[in-house]
Structure 1
Amino acid sequence: MAGERTAAAAGDAVRVRVPATSANLGPGFDTLGLALGMWDDVELAVGDGDGCVVEVEGEGAGRVPRDERHLVLRAARATFDRAGAPRAALRLRCRNLIPHSRGLGSSAAAAVAGIVGARALLAASHPLDDEAVLDLAAGFDGHADNAAACLHGGLVVSWGHEGAWRAVRLSPHPALRPVALIAERSSSTEATRGLLPDRVPHTDAAYNAARSALLVHALTNDPSLLLEATEDRLHQPYRRPAYPETAAVVDHLRAEGVAAVVSGAGPTVLALTLDGRLPDALDTSGFTVRALDVDTAGARAEHV
């Protein structure tokens, strides 16, 4: 087309909004993810010359790198490379609400923000489809559950296929009202994965396969089954020593009939309620309680 740009030009800018996510949801280890109504807002712009400029407000300010090591920028660079576009100087401004290292998908959100922002800057000149975007984003985490939920919104089922990542989006039941109990302390995904055994009993694997299938049905069609559907033997029992306070909250909630799980690798707790309420006697010391909507839009980008 006449006048079409062949690459991002200085002055081009996009705004991206990406949601928090909760992965696993109990039995769906590295497979199921849910997008939540808490967002990071990112502005990515093409600058002049070389190098980059990074500004961060909110979560991570003063702690995350303010140079090309920043995850949003690394993801944007990877997108330029995947699209075969020449690299450009970039300016990044982040306003973060998603807590870091709490099990709410902050790293996946950063990767998706950089990738979706870069794709929008490149637009029609170097197009990338959603499958390429998911594959790039999942590459930063090593699995696609958070990245897929962040990208698509709603409930996602993700899997690997022939060396690439795939995902399908499902619509959660409209009565679902998640409540996040956000831990004050942080946790390392790498450290908690180190607690998982290399092998599990066949009976436990079958148990989780049944619960994962049931959970998809419960989340989309019959929330009355959520307590049974969120039972897990594959990862949460092994991770309990890493965050005993989290385990105690999950145990208390489940004893009261609330479908509570460890969010991602923890230590945040996610309660899958139908009314946004928790038992009055619950001790929430060390946690910030946030009733959240399900984000149904996923990552969004607009030119500015």
Structure 2
Amino acid sequence: MAVNARTIADDEFFFGHKACAGCGGSLAVRAALKVLGPNAVAALPAGCMSAVGFNFPQLSFANNAMITPFAATASVLTGIEVGLRAQGKKPDDCTVVGFAGDGGTADIGIQALSGAIDRNDDVLYICYDNEAYMNTGIQKSSLTPFGAKTTTTPVGANARGCLTQKKNLFEIVAAHGIPYAATASVGYLNDFIRKVERARDIEGTRYIHVIAPCPTGWGRAEDEMVDMAKDIVDCGLWYLAEYEGEQLSGQPGGRFHLSRNPKEFGSVEAYLRSQGRFKALTDEDIAVVEAARDAKWEVMQREWQG
């Protein structure tokens, strides 16, 4: 039976942590480990989930789990996977999984991730994306969206927040020819669960990029974070998709597939204006964001298989 919110295991493998109320990252880790089961071995770099999950003398992971150097998540996953195989463990026995934030993935960790994909190591890498370095006080990462206020992209009379566009890491990973990659959101938990289950059963390197809102950094109430994770998808600023490499898809260059292809979008303005981090955006800025969204969706709906 396919795993979904109704059939997922009752067992908890990530609990008692010290994450902020409403933390999207903790929800992503909790749900993923419930799919992967007790034999999954996890590695986490410096970041929110390691900070809240490894508080001596309390360990919030029921699975075997360890902290890695900030830049080395994928490298450590490689080492764990080789060690398990040397012990005679088979891929069906356990999944080697990494959980890293956007900064630890798209910035400091991208070299190790790229290397793991190049070697096609049998590991699953999950990036929980809250769009800034939240653990260290809300600094900009390369996945921080245009216009967002952070401590390193302030707003004021002579500052307009983040001036760069969010890096498209999903397509960067896909360009490596990875066997499987997907985007997800904790606002659409069944979709995320399904993708984790699918990735679990694929051999080689797999990557899932899940939007995981942060109430502290995004500037909205703790009990609204799941709604925020739905809103970003519904307004078209984040898409749910999968990429299958040549071996899975049987197509040269692989295949992109939209998991959700809405006929109409929610309001970009309502989504942005509901968050404290975007308070400085002008009407002209919002129009630019909408235009970029429309251009991206035109390409995806034309070239990707829905």
Which is greater in Rg? 1
TM-score for the superposition, normalised by structure 1: 0.23
More strand by share: 1
More helix by share: 2
TM-score for the superposition, normalised by structure 2: 0.23
